[in-house]
Structure 1
């Protein structure tokens, strides 16, 4: 029962599960006042994320979405890391879901000679901060973000990984 999830590129059939997973984590687990209407990209994933060096992936366990991750091409050989969410039952060392998702993004970025991955996150996601730092991301100030970086209203902490 502790086989690992499988990471696959997003297909439209996963949309309802993706939206539900993300909203459950944001609203129920972290009490963040954000709705699906605040995240229109969740309803146009193919068009929004699959441009240039961008893409969207899901982690599946027994055909159920247990994690998401995406890259948004922001130009100048940089991408924004977005929609990193893992079901609380699939976090940690047993399933390694976050590691599998991040490894997918890193490999994708290396294959495309991306220069940097930049992300914004909320102050509440302390475990995520540790995860990014452990994986070589460095904390940066909002003033150091490229102009093309899409800052979400909940983003208050920012990280960058340079290849």
Structure 2
């Protein structure tokens, strides 16, 4: 049976951390695609894609091409959005993890099993009146899920926030990350906000960002 431990990040972990975070983001593409297909405006696009060729040409085969074209457009758009998020991260806080996170008020941890990095989580302070920590970069390798690794990482971050004198932990995730959402709710996080972040493509794809908050008891 594998045993897991959580430790601080070091630069020698970078390649594995990058792999876990990147692959973890692309794993959500299928769920995001099926969610997009369930939206009324995309059903309308599929209907138009089917009827327009049929009415104008009378060929059923062309109607099917129209439907497939809409579906391909959705798939490519979702993949492009995920690629953008990955690129933004690699050019931002993940470009120099040690320089960005291993400083006051910040931190980055990895979960390890048999000398192999299998999970990640990071903390960063949030601006505002109340002292709060943001949970970021939570991801667990697919072969090590369902074994309590994410809970260990989450508890590590909450303990860090408590010891830092924070009153809350805040996180942002997407509505299609079903397993992550269930985990956060089991850990005591409450859903406090939903948004498309002002992006038309996010609205078209139903790429909804949700915010969760964990209030740290004052007596602990």
Q: TM-score, normalised by structure 1?
A: 0.84
Match of residue 34 from structure 1? 83
Match of residue 61 from structure 2? none
Deviation per residue, 1:11-57 (Å, 9 max, x gap): 11101110011111112x21252354211211211222234322000
2 CA distance for matches of 1:137 and 1:50?
25
| Farther-moved stretch of structure 1 (108-117 vs 14-23) | 108-117
Are residues 1:69 and 2:121 paired? yes
SS of residue matched to 1:34:
helix
Q: Which runs of 5+ in 2 are unaligned?
A: 30-78, 196-201
For residue 96 of structure 1, the aligned residue among 142, 148, 168 is: 148
* Residue 101 (structure 1) shift: 0.6
Q: Which has the larger share of helix?
A: 2
SS of residue matched to 2:191:
strand
Match of residue 161 from structure 1? 214
Question: Which structure would you say has the larger Rg?
Answer: 2
Deviation per residue, 1:86-120 (Å, 9 max, x gap): 1122111xx31011111111111111111111000
Are residues 1:86 and 2:140 paired? yes
Q: Which runs of 5+ in 1 are unaligned?
A: 144-152
Q: Which has the larger share of strand?
A: 1
Contact 1:4 1:96 in 2 (8 A): no
1 CA distance for matches of 2:194 and 2:24?
25
Match of residue 158 from structure 2? 106
Match of residue 104 from structure 2? 52
Q: TM-score, normalised by structure 2?
A: 0.63
Match of residue 147 from structure 1? none
Contact 1:4 1:97 in 2 (8 A): no
- Equivalent pairs, count: 150
| Farther-moved stretch of structure 1 (43-52 vs 54-63) | 43-52
Contact 1:80 1:118 in 2 (8 A): yes
